Structure 1
Amino acid sequence: MARAFNARVRHREFSPGYLVLRKVLHVTPDSRGKFSYKYDGPFVVKETFSRGAVILSDMDGTENALPVNVDAIKKYYP
């Protein structure tokens, strides 16, 4: 069963300079229910770590302090 699952998993690799969208993981008080945004961004990948963590920065260069898991981001194509 694990071999069948692992055959379908796609490895996602992010390099510094990539544009990505970050998944909104928290519920905001003024959320619009199912019509709220699912992704936030775009952000620029600043640094990558082993085991799937990245540091993101805003488009204007402001760096976020906390790392983000690769599972919570996806590539952005302008």
Structure 2
Amino acid sequence: MSGSLVSEYELYVQHPRFEEMNISRGQIRARCQMLADAGLVDRQHEDIYEITTWGRLYLRGEVDAQNQPRPRPSRVK
């Protein structure tokens, strides 16, 4: 399954709602790292992530997050 690559910067620029909701690039980075720890995205480069098969299944409602490992506590804020 081919994934979609997205950078933290692209998320911030392409979705002005983040700025409207006072969400910083640092917060986006932290959430991307948490999603990577949970196996829902893979970090491809410094600030570029790709959704995994698990991530796609989760978005489709085919994976129950309650049955998945939790991200490391250092990532959860």
TM over 0.5: no
TM-score (norm 2): 0.24
TM-score (norm 1): 0.23
- Greater radius of gyration (CA): 1
